[in-house]
Structure 1
Amino acid sequence: MKNMEVFMHVSTAYAYCNRKQIDEVVYPPPVDPKKLTDSLELMDDGLVNDITPKLIGDRPNTYIYTKALAQYVVQQEGTKLNVVIIRPLIVGASWKEPFPGWIDNFNGPSGLFIAVLFLTSTKAGKGILQTIHASNSALADLIPVDVVVNMSLAAAWYSRVNRPRNIMVYCTTGSTNPFPLG
């Protein structure tokens, strides 16, 4: 890609959920991603499953673990590129664009909300999902898809215009405008 101006990697705000404080930086992984990949290719699925809990450590799952590894790989391999990493929360339905509530699938939180709000009030939905056990004060770390897209475009524009020396990392947070489950 001879004329690439900005390389943008979309990750997740949870890549470093095992840390108490998360800054807009890429943290070094517990193992070298290249060595890990080379090692895993030599193992059968059973052995990989056996060592996975030890590999991911205090992260909750392999998705989070590999997102952190990927950010490190992007940082290491992108030293000659204009790199931006975006770390959104759980992406949900749109806030404004193309219209409020737009979503192209019913995966994740959108499917859950639809099941709770709509399906339980119809005969067809009875028994699918009538209740959710959760605290009313618990926060749902959701961010509208149009906010993520707009943030991504703004970050790419800024990086293209200003050509920062270091990799730019942008995180989203649920503490600025919290969304309690209640």
Structure 2
Amino acid sequence: ITWSKGSTQIASANGGIDMKGQTYVDQLSAINPADPDALAQAQAIINGFSNEAMDYLNRVSSGDVLDYEMLQLRTEDAAKSRKSRLASTLVLGAEYGFFNNKLAVGGLYTTRFVQPKAMTELTFSANYRPKSWFNVALSYSVIQSAGKSFGLGLKLGPLFVGTDYMFLGKNSNSVNGFVGVSIPLGGRKVNKQG
């Protein structure tokens, strides 16, 4: 991909990024507990930390993926265009059907050759297809999610809904979901017997 210089910005630090968390700890440690104003001093320090934390949360939740001001970065346009390449992906899959293809099991191996090392995933699936307008699928991914990710899919006529990488682990709950409509193009095939 060739990126024009107008579509590229370079961000650089204006110096060291000021991490103030330790500053608040040092200020609290410096308070003399015997001082009659110690409680008020501590409350003022905690309020300052709280205000800074709320400002951070507001910036993060504003929708900006990267807030240059918060990270104390300055930006400038690139002096020349640049080129980058897409990562290669290897995908191998197989499916085996039972009972006139109404029930099927399959496996999908995917490797994305990215830096610093390749990312590999292995997904197993089971599909139940009793009618052409009704299908149910279940998938289970074992490597990237440490065996804690699965997906579900449902097809009803032209409508399909599903998820993949539903991760319901101890520290995270997340789901990738999708909805779609299938619109056939062209006419039905006619069997000619002769």
TM-score by shorter chain over 0.5 = no
Larger radius of gyration: 2
Larger helix proportion of the pair: 1
How does the TM-score come out when normalised to structure 2?
Answer: 0.23
Larger strand proportion of the pair: 2
Q: Point out which structure has higher relative CO (alpha carbons under 8 A, 6+ apart).
A: 1
How does the TM-score come out when normalised to structure 1?
Answer: 0.24
